[in-house]
Structure 1
Amino acid sequence: MIKEAEKLNPWFTEDQTHHALSSWSKELTHEQLSKWTDSYHYVDSDKKSVGVVMAGNIPLVGLHDLISVLLSGHNIIIRPSSDDHVLIRMVAAILSSLDNGYSERIRWADGKLKDFHAIIATGSNNTSRYFEHYFSKVPNVIRKNRNGIAILTGEEGENELSALGKDIFQYFGLGCRNVSKIYIPEDYDIDKFFGGIYSFNKIIEHNKYANNFDYYRSVFLLNADKILENGFLLLKESGDLASPMASLHYERYQA
């Protein structure tokens, strides 16, 4: 299944999918699930059908919504992303094999969603406008683009910079929690940052990532943008929070 998922979506490498599965395995323990669910008060009510439009930017990104709906006692109608339908169907099949009741509570919508009482939809800022209009008559949770930032003081050690590198490069930067911009002191030495993230240099061996690196490097140069690079990451000074694939925005601040 993991190889099939990578064949469908080359961003879902075995390493990235294993990381997602490993992360979920730590969260789906009895202790962690109890800690999560004990903070809510559950009441008996008629089961509703919750439609979930899932994203496909990182492996199993829709799993949290699947678990949330099932734990709340409701049924789920899944509109999977074309980029991540293999893994989420695999998990649903495993759940159904453990408890036949889940097979009756999980439905799939490969086309238009219908017969739902509420909606959870994840997409871009553009698609969110469509979601907000189309699903306006039912209770809904609509998610838009999100970006992560990091503020450096200049006092960070190698371990902290390496951890920052993970926040930048995990899932090739496609996650909504990936860092897309850093704020650095006016006199910060960029070479220190480049040195701290050098262990992630093999990311450039991924064909699609390398293509993006070459493409945006060409675009920046054609636009006469001032960039810094280390062979696998492009740094561009910009006030924007979101940065293109294989690049990172930075902005200097006065300490």
Structure 2
Amino acid sequence: MTSIQNRITAFAKLGDFLSQFSPNKIEKKQNIEHNDLFFDGFQHQIKLAQENNSWFTKDNILFALQSWAEALTTENLKDFTKDVNPEQKSEKQVAIIMAGNIPLVGFHDFLSVLISGYKVVIKQSSNDKHLLPFLAKYLEYVHEDFKNKITFPEEKLTNFDAVIATGSNNTARYFEYYFKNKPSIIRKSRNSVAVITGNETDDDYDGLANDVFQYFGLGCRSVSKLYVPKDYNFDAFFNGMYSRKDIINNAKYANNYDYNKAVYLMSEFDLLENGFLMIKEDESYSSPIATIFYEYYDNEIDLKIKLHEDKEKIQCIVAKDFIENEVAFGQTQHPKLTDYADGVNTLEFLSKL
């Protein structure tokens, strides 16, 4: 077996392990390698992750785990790595500075570095520090070559040859200065938008509810902005959102809803709201929790030009037969391994180190 085949096999086994954890049920399966060592322990890590960060509900963690289980198949991994040098092994170390907005948000970078044959040094967010070290330990058991290749330093990063860092627009400026002498991928804040044309079905709006509410809207793939035609009637949109009304029962979400509503009302902004979601006309892409911004458009060509001009700010465009590279309604939180964040091919970057 080539080096890359061994690494693919290891990650596919991790996918099998994760397939035991989904929002529908957690179920211990037969024939999962090292299950007796890891199954109960991982349930404990899920519990710790919930206790450490109240945005990380059990459902959101299990949704993320299920998504990775579906992605980490041998077939998907082979397709993902088809251009990677099969014998590539390197003592070079790649540092990853991870965000903590949604569970395992930095896993794609972690996968990309290890499967490319490099060592990985991971600076985790304090908001998401329980799940990945445990999964890294599982990988080390499955494939001995990963031993001594994965480290989680507590102190400042010092020894590395390249860096992949994700943060806000403010931290990105700091990263760009701090890592100016290293090969790097520096990711900034991005948001996702949906274009409504008036041809949407009830199913499309139902899918859009997932794009809006999954992970409480905290992901860069979460829809935070709508573009709607002039004189658009929002009834169909609100009807589609209604299936997620129970989100208001989450205390942290409800606090944000109440706070943002109070701010808007005191500022005398025009609002439409339904008890768990507010929509506000606003040109910005980044809306607060429990709020969606919207903007009217007059003609589709002007909107396409605007979206193209602002592509550095946008992660996904959700639409139906509107623009190239659009994402179907309901699919923003189901990216393929080849759907690179910010459109930057991580494997290609790594291949040039």
> Which TM-score tier does this pair reach, normalised by the shorter chain?
over 0.9
How far apart, in 2, do the equivalents of 1:132 and 1:236 lie?
34
Instruction: Quote the offset at 1:103 in angstroms.
Output: 2.5
Give SS of 1:197's match: helix
Partner of 1:63: 107
CA RMSD of aligned residues (A): 1.1
Query: Alpha-carbon deviations, 1:5-26, whole Å to 9, x = none?
Result: 0000111111001110111011
Partner of 2:233: 189
Structure number with higher relative contact order (C-alpha < 8 Å, ≥ 6 residues apart): 2
Give the one of 201, 215, 230 matched to 2:259. Answer: 215
Amino acid at match of 1:68: S
Which of 55, 60, 65 is the matching residue for 1:16? Answer: 60
Post-superposition Cα deviations, 1:182-212, rounded to whole Å, max 9, x if no partner, equal: 0111121111110011101111110100000
Q: In the alignment, what sits opposite 1:228?
A: 272
The match for 2:206 is 162
Q: 1:90 aligns with which of 115, 128, 134?
A: 134
For the residues of structure 2 that align with 1:8 and 1:121, how far apart are their CA atoms? 23
> In the TM superposition, what are the counterparts of 1:28-177 in structure 2 within 5 Å?
28-41=72-85, 44=88, 46-177=90-221
TM-score, normalising length from structure 2? 0.71
What residue identity is the alignment partner of 1:128? A
Q: Structure 2 CA distance, aligned partners of 1:78 and 1:123?
A: 14
SS in structure 1 at match of 2:139: helix
How far does residue 134 in structure 1 lie from its aligned partner after superposition? 0.5
Choose 87-96 or 240-249, whichever is displaced more: 87-96
State the alpha-carbon separation in 2 of the partners of residues 155 and 49 from structure 1.
50
Q: Which consecutive aligned stretches of 4+ in structure 1 deviate over 2 angstroms post-superposition?
A: 39-47
Given the two structures, how large is their TM-score scaled by the length of structure 1?
Answer: 0.97
Q: 1:252 is matched with which residue: 284, 287, 296?
A: 296
| Structure 1 unmatched ranges of 5 or more | none
Number of equivalenced pairs: 255
In 2, Cα distance between the equivalents of 1:90 and 1:17? 14
Q: Per-residue deviation at 1:43? A: 6.0
Q: Is the 8 A contact 2:84 2:116 kept in 1?
A: no
Offset at 1:111?
1.8
Measure, in 2, the Cα distance between the counterparts of 1:40 and 1:179.
Answer: 33
Give 1:44 deviation, angstroms.
4.0
Q: Distance in 1 between matches of 2:154 and 2:125?
A: 9
Residue 99 of structure 1: CA displacement?
2.0
Shift of the alpha carbon at 1:93? Answer: 1.4
Q: 2:62 and 2:92 mapped to 1: Cα distance? A: 33
The aligned residue for residue 199 of structure 1 is: 243
Task: State the shift of 1:47 in Å.
Answer: 2.2
Work out the CA distance in 2 between the residues paired with 1:207 and 1:37.
42
Provide, for residues 123-168 of structure 1, a one-character-per-residue CA deviation record: whole Å limited to 9, x for no partner: 0000001100001111000000000000101121110001111001
Letter of the 1:87 counterpart:
L
Name the counterpart of 1:26. Answer: 70
What amino acid sits opposite 1:247 in the alignment? T
Equivalent pair of 2:225/2:293 in contact (CA under 8 Å): yes
